[in-house]
Structure 1
Amino acid sequence: MSTASRPTRPTHGRRPRRAAAPGAPSPRPGWSARPSATARRAAAALAATALLATAPAASAAPRGVFPQATTTPRAVLLQWGRPSGAGVTATRVERRDLSSSRPRWRSATTVRTNTVRIRGLRAGSRYRFRLRFRTAGRRFGAPGPSVLVRARGRTPEVVTGLRAAGDGSAVVLSWPAAKDATGYRVERTDVLTGGVERLGASTRARTLRDVPPARLAGRWLAYRVVAADGGAEARPSSAVEARATGSPGYATYWALGDSYAAGTGLGQPYDDQPCARNGRMWAALIPRDLVPLPQFLACSGAKTENVRLSRDGGVAQVAGIGGTQLDRVEQGLRARPGPTLITLSIGGNDARFVPQFTRCVTGDCTADHDTETALIRGAVRRGLDATFAQIRAVAPGADVLVAGYPRLFDEGPVPLDPLFAATLTQAERRLANVWATQVDEEVAAAARSHGLHPVTDEVLAAFVGHGAGGPSPWINRVEVVDPGTPIGLVPQFPATSSIHPTVEGNQAYADVVTAALRAFGSRVQVR
């Protein structure tokens, strides 16, 4: 069959293949005229190049554009200079939260200025910030160098109202919230040594339970709370002090005070004649497993001014013994620092007990009720406050127990002592006991206000039924002379031991203080 008569193949809608140009080579048999894959890739690359050549240019990575950061509470102010080259139309600020479990770069904001303030940062957290710039195109360039920022917090208010309480061997602290605080930390200071420890990490809780370690047994500990907001901290709170349970192992024991602490009622012969001090005084009767042998400084006739420091208004009672009682304590603590116990009774001579008692014996003292009460509530209290404040300052880490006075007289209708029966009415004996109780009230209040421990109520309770002139007196009656006065000394009239605790009375004082010391070891004390 000739080619002229061959039927035409249907095209099924396809465009007929264009005939080759005259002189063009014919395709090889069996090959398609479609371009190869390599040729197609080359063509695509050329097309892309041509497209980029005609599109607006994107920003190159900025060089030397480093954001300057200024932190403010929970925010940062970023500032930067414009990059060189084509005009920048926008800046993207990116942030990376380094405290996140999955720190990623994220857009923080886009601005058209050279400065921006980023708010809402978490106080104390660390962040990095970097910049991207856009020029005439729609895309941002590569990021520049980043800056590290630690977010500051607002300085919180100081914690007020910190409280401490004992719960077994634990010190339980609690405090109200402080404005702008996001956390709190607690400091514990050994008052004796000044050593400071931080208790645990910062916490959002407003309570803390601390069980002091054995090395701090029996020590006074000062607790303070610091409110914080990230890196910003308030000043520490005022301290509260608590005494850890246990015994500190006292290095020294100082027995201060007046005749009721000096054992004057035990009579002659005295170990110290100028002070009418007897070595069998109640401080010497406290068991040695609790305290060492006392340093005896108590002196008959002592007032609060004789206890206070010489440099702060104190007056030495006896010349040539090294100053006032507290002067000698201060000197002793410098020579031998360590856990210290101080006991004392003071205030009775400031209240003029001896001349007031003499007035009752020799006349009618009931008219002095208001005058004596005003003295006790006024000048006596001021003297106690000044004295106790100085004791706390000289020995801030010491245990200080303040003993008061018993009610002096039996209040029965007819005292068994003939002299009392003849010279003291029942009203006068009752009034003398009222004044003793008033002094105890001021002693206790002043002691507590200065962080000392009064045992005045315990002394009053111990002497109930044992007043002078009663059937079982622990307080001496009025003695004309002391038969034990050593030869060569002029006996005093009446005897110095009159209206002072007997042997049984001194033992009662010792029992009260012993019980208080054992209680100190069994539970937390707070001041």
Structure 2
Amino acid sequence: MSRRLSVLACLVTSIVLTVATATPAIAAPPSDWDYIAMGDSYSSGVGTSGQSGSCLRSPNAYPGLWDSANDPASYRMVACSGATTSSLRSGQLSALSTTTDLVSVTIGGNDAGFAETVLTCTLTSDKGCAAKVDEQLELLDEEIPARLDATYREIRAKAPNAKVVVLGYPLLFDVNAPSCGFAGMSIPKRKSLNHGATELNQVTEERVRAAGFTWSDVTDEFAGHGVCGPSPWLHGLTLLPPTDSFHPNGNGHKYGYLAALNSVLH
């Protein structure tokens, strides 16, 4: 063999070996995967049937639906309603290990003051709503990126072999319907809140990609199914239980979040 061919053969062999050793555990079929679902209420299942416990976890949230459809080797739900990056790091990371193959997570909405902002917009004027969203966007620029970076670093440290999928948040509102029902949001308020969600998703996507994780945007799946629209996949203002307010319903988890998770796993 000539020197040139010999060098080429070594190079090809080196590339093959590198690719082979870099292949993550996720390359195995789902039946072999160890799956951990982490995050906040959008992952725990608030808004769906079957919620239980202080974390309001439901088997009908998208992680449970994925588990039922794929029957992985193991599945554990540790997402919790109200979770922030801080509480995730202190209370959920222990579920991860070197054998974890798949992690899904939604996080950041509570750090950005999601509930407080929606409540303010419900009770105040269009101008007051816009001001509250702008206030939270300053926090988003100044503090949230570092919080997300720290969270993603710790997830990777605890689960070095896992495929980590970070899912975003839907735009809550349909902005075309002139009326949004009793105590519903005006169109300017809906646009302000959707703008806030768009900005949060953009910041999150940047940090997800910087961490080397997989980003899954759910806005396409939820398009046309916002609150106030003809076929909403999210609850509007809900009195019983009030925690369901502005969270995905069963269709939102099945056709929105589950579809978004599947889109990056196949």
| Distance change >3 Å, CA 339–CA 260, structure 1 → 2 | closer
1-side partners of 2:61 and 2:177: how far apart?
Answer: 32
Distance 1:306 1:245 in 2: 27
Asked if 2 retains the 8 angstrom alpha-carbon contact of 1:392 and 1:451, the reply is: no
* One of 361, 367, 374 as aligned partner of 2:138: 374
**Equivalent residue for 1:325, pick from 92, 97, 103:** 92
> For the structure 1 residues 512 and 293, does the alpha-carbon distance in structure 2 shift closer, same or farther, using more than 3 Å as the test?
farther
Whole-Å Cα distance in 2 between the matches of residues 396 and 253 of structure 1?
A: 14
- With over 3 angstroms needed to count, the CA separation of the structure-2 counterparts of 1:212 and 1:291, relative to structure 1, is farther
1:266 lines up with 2:48 in the alignment? yes
| Equivalent position of 2:234 in the other structure | 475
Could you tell me how far apart the structure 1 residues matched to 2:25 and 2:15 are?
Answer: 13
Q: C-alpha separation between the residues in 2 aligned to 1:451 and 1:377?
A: 21
Asked if the contact 1:304/1:384 (under 8 Å) is kept, the reply is: yes
Match of 2:170, SS? coil
**1:505 matched residue in structure 2:** 252
The answer to whether the aligner puts 1:516 opposite 2:246 as a matched pair is no
The 3-state SS of whatever aligns with 1:496 is helix
* Cα displacement (A) at 1:247: 2.7
Give distance in 2, aligned partners of 1:211 and 1:512.
32
Give the counterpart letter for 1:259 in structure 2.
S
- The match for 2:111 among 350, 367, 372 is 350
Are 1:283 and 2:51 an aligned pair?
Answer: no
1:459-498 pair list within 5 angstroms: 459-482=218-241, 495-498=242-245
1: CA distance between counterparts of 2:101 and 2:115? 32
Is 1:302 equivalent to 2:50 in the alignment?
no
Task: Give the Å deviation of 1:307.
Answer: 1.4
Alpha carbons of 1:496 and 1:450: their partners in 2 closer, same or farther (altered >3 Å)?
Answer: same
C-alpha change, 1:414 and 1:278, in structure 2 (3 Å) is: same
Match of 1:406 in 2: 170
Residues in 2 aligned to 1:472 and 1:288: alpha-carbon distance in whole angstroms? 25
- Structure 1 position 212, deviation (Å): 7.2
Spell out the pairing of 1:49-448 with structure 2 (5 A cutoff).
201=10, 209-210=15-16, 221=22, 246-247=27-28, 250-267=32-49, 269-271=50-52, 273-286=53-66, 288-289=69-70, 291-292=72-73, 294-308=75-89, 314=90, 324-329=91-96, 333=97, 337-338=98-99, 340-364=101-125, 365-420=129-184, 424-448=185-209
Q: CA deviation at 1:465?
A: 0.6
Residues in 2 aligned to 1:441 and 1:282: alpha-carbon distance in whole angstroms:
22
Cα distance in 1 for partners of 2:156, 2:110 equals: 22
Structure-1 separation of matches of 2:100 and 2:115: 36
- Between the aligned partners of 1:306 and 1:515, the Cα distance in structure 2 is 28
TM-score (norm 2): 0.86
Tell which structure's C-alpha radius of gyration is larger.
1
Closer/same/farther in 2, CA of residues 341 and 354 from structure 1, 3 Å limit? same
Q: Which has the higher helix share?
A: 2
Partner secondary structure for residue 264 of structure 2: helix
Aligned residue for 1:419, secondary structure, equals coil
Deviations 1:387-439 (A, max 9, x none): 0111111111101000110000111251343221xxx2211110100111111
Structure 1 CA distance, aligned partners of 2:227 and 2:123?
Answer: 18
TM-superposition CA deviations, 1:142-166 (whole Å, max 9, x none): xxxxxxxxxxxxxxxxxxxxxxxxx
Q: 1: distance between equivalents of 2:199 and 2:43?
A: 19
Q: Is the 8 A contact 2:44 2:61 kept in 1?
A: yes
Greater fraction strand: 1
Q: Is the 8 A contact 1:254 1:296 kept in 2?
A: yes
Question: What runs of 5+ residues in structure 2 fail to find an aligned partner?
Answer: 1-6
Q: Distance in 2 between matches of 1:413 and 1:288?
A: 35
Deviation at residue 277 of structure 1 after TM alignment: 1.2
Distance 2:119 2:220 in 1: 26
Give, in angstroms, the shift of residue 294 of structure 1.
Answer: 2.3
Task: State the alpha-carbon separation in 1 of the partners of residues 205 and 111 from structure 2.
Answer: 15
User: In the alignment, is the contact (CA less than 8 A) between 1:265 and 1:501 conserved in 2?
Assistant: yes
How many Å apart are 1:293 and its aligned residue? 5.0
Cα pair distance change 1:517/1:394, threshold 3 Å: same
CA contact (8 A) 2:62 2:257 kept: yes
Which of 1 and 2 has higher RCO (CA within 8 Å, sep 6+)? Answer: 2
C-alpha contact 2:169 2:201 (8 A) present in aligned 1: yes
Q: Partners of 1:468 and 1:327 in 2: how far apart?
A: 36
- Structure-2 separation of matches of 1:409 and 1:293: 36
Corresponding residue for residue 37 of structure 1:
none
Percentage of identical aligned residues = 30
SS of equivalent to 2:105: strand
